[in-house]
Amino acid sequence: MNEFISQLKESIELDFEGVKLSEINAYIKQNTLEIIFVCPDGKEKSLNDNIKVIAEKTAEILKTSFKIKIKIKKSYFDEAYFTYSLLGFVEKYPMIKHNLKSGNFAFEYNDSGIKVILSVPSAVAEYINGRKIKSELENFVNNNYCENIEIAISPVEIDDEEIEFEPPENKLVYDYEGGRKIKVSNVEPFIGDVIYERPSYIVDARPGDGVILCGKIKEFTERKRTMKEGETEQKYFFKFRLEDFTGSIDCIYFPTKKSLEKIRLLSDGKEIVAFGTTEMNTFKGVTTLSYRVRYISLCTLPTDFVVNRARMVLPEEYRCVHPVPYESYEQDNIFKVKEDVPDYLLGKEFVVYDFETTGLNQSTDKIIEIGAVKIKDGVITECFSTLVDPECLIPEKATAVNHITDADVKGAPLIGDVMPDFFKFCFGAIMVGQNSLQFDWPLLRAKAEPMNIYFENDQLDILLLAKKYYPDLSKYNLDFLSKKFGIVNEAAHRALSDTITTAKVFIKLAAHM
């Protein structure tokens, strides 16, 4: 790479000091070779102004018949995006992926540059150094940034049992064949090469080159580019949103003289498939994904689209949270008449569940405790209970209700480790909760579906059942219902205790079902 840059320096009178060759991407069907350079702040303009010359000289140096596309990226260090990028890079190493989280990153700034400290268990540090993965990390950083960035591995001593060396991968299957691609029809060339490959879902888009997406155009606008010194001709660019069946993305297109009149023929509602580059952009602390379009083909979107979900296969065994047999703490009473099991419960399996959380916002708040019990043939048989590390501070308001503190969840498993086990525990059962249809059920799906875990169980809500069979009660909260049926909640507002209480109330209500 250094030799290639040196040859460019010799053949072009441009300042290439500090410029690095970041990537070379070959697109065989487009007969295109994309060369991506990363440059220091202040040099992007001069390089972009001479892209045509750079492309010509590159073709000469490489002696290729491929069309050369040059892309200039300005090196900009942002802690959040750097963390995101590096975590993505180590995805291929399960041991590192499982033990390196965003909270393990620390940044130190000095006159010589930036030091990024990765705190990992000692065994993981040995693994990184032993397999020379650190040099791969350094190469990754060197190819994407012009800043002087040093990667330092900081070993942290913890119990070996806490280290997940090769965590078993969750197996995924699709609802139907074809993967997460959209089958468009009537594809016609419009701008650039015709795009025959099937586009991906917008919701699945990640930063990268050669990304193919499709959808309907929304908010199509033409804008004037700022005139550069010495320019005599006005240039334009176009912005629009592309919306498919799964989401939408902001798009930008810079036309050539040849494509300017064509792009003006587009308008809101047009259906297209596009080829381009997706990039992360941070503005005022908010990071979003945008799409720089290069080629556009017209198409017809399907009218019968159904999202092809990647679903996690039911785990063969519990990995993190193991259910335990339910033991009643009620003392046996020889004079107590054993109640008959309601007919509705016979031959069925139920899971009664409850969550404690950092707040009441199902989108942004986190689960900090899961409690669940299993009922078979009207008898409570198993308990599933765990605290969950939310990877954030627990608000005082939440602690005041559930009495769960930051110290309590320190060292607890993460929701990503717990959810597959909870999925296994609930599989095939009817799920029951107190006011669960309004809170717990939407919360569970919001947290599970990004992990490709889909809870599709039938649901029963104690609140609705109580209102149906006892319409004259003044209240329907768990505390009131438990007192009505003479049930003692040993630790109200803790997930497992609330769940056991809810299960006993449910068994009482089942007599009316």
Helices (H) and strands (E) in the chain, counts: 15, 20
Catalytic residue list: 493
Distance, in Å, from the CA atom of 65 to the CA atom of 28, rounded to the nearest integer, reads 12
Q: Where are the alpha helices (DSSP H) in 207-330?
A: 257-263
Q: Whose CA is closest to 356, among 257, 158, 493, 208? A: 493
**Angle 440-448/415-426 helices, nearest 10 degrees?**
120
Give dist(CA 53, CA 152) in Å, integer: 39
Q: How many CB atoms lie within 10 A of CB 385?
A: 18
**CB-based contact 437:461 (threshold 8 Å):** yes
Q: What is the DSSP string of 207-228?
A: SEEEEEEEEEEEEEEEEEPPPP
Element (H, E) at 276: strand 271-283
Copy the structure tokens of residue 242: 């592309």
Tell me how far apart the terminal alpha carbons of the chain are, to the nearest angstrom.
Answer: 74
- What are the backbone angles phi and psi of residue 366, rounded to the nearest 5°? -115, 150
Cα–Cα dist 210/54, whole Å:
21
- From residue 407, give the alpha-carbon distance in Å to each of 154, 207, 367, 389, 393: 24, 37, 15, 10, 10
d(CA 142, CA 158): 31
Q: How far is CA 174 from CA 92, 140, 177, 446, in A?
A: 22, 32, 7, 19
Closest by CA position to 57, among listed 32, 30, 35:
35
Q: How many angstroms separate the CA atoms of 312 and 420, rounded?
A: 8
Q: Where are the alpha helices (DSSP H) in 319-414?
A: 396-402, 406-409
DSSP characters over 44-69: HHHHHHTHHHHHHHHHHHHT--SEEE
Angle of helix 133-144 relative to helix 79-89, nearest 10 degrees, comes to 130
Question: Measured between alpha carbons, how far is residue 219 from residues 212, 268, 275, 484 in Å?
Answer: 20, 6, 19, 58
- How crowded is residue 155: how many other Cβ atoms within 10 Å of its Cβ? 15
